[in-house]
């Protein structure tokens, strides 16, 4: 990649969301099969906040890139 070329943050955001989805599904399975644990729904707020943070960081990176380059 040339030194002046902008980075593609969309791929990083998608990769981060896929890794988060894999971590969520693994935690959900462990919480569901754990003896005495009846409700794995307590995981949703934590992973939901993490997903929103990833999306906001990606959006801020995209907006700052378009403002600094003068457009897309």
Alpha-carbon distances of 40 from 3, 21, 27, 51, rounded to whole Å: 47, 15, 9, 18
The string of pLDDT tens digits covering residues 4-35 is 545 677 888 999 999 999 999 999 999 999 88
Write out the two tokens for 22: 């894999």
Which pLDDT does position 2 carry in this prediction? 52
pLDDT at 61 over 80: yes
Q: What is the pTM of this model?
A: 0.77
So where are the chain's domains? 9-69
Phi-psi map region of 36: left, alpha, beta (phi>0 left; psi -120 to 50 alpha):
left
Secondary structure letter of residue 41 according to DSSP: G
């Amino acid at each position: 990649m040339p030194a002046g070329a902008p980075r593609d943050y969309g791929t990083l955001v998608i990769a981060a969301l896929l890794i988060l989805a894999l971590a969520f599904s693994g935690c959900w399975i462990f919480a569901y099969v754990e003896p005495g644990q009846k409700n794995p729904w307590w995981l949703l707020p934590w992973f939901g906040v993490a997903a929103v943070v990833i999306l906001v960081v990606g959006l801020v990176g995209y907006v700052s890139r378009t403002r600094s380059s003068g457009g897309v």
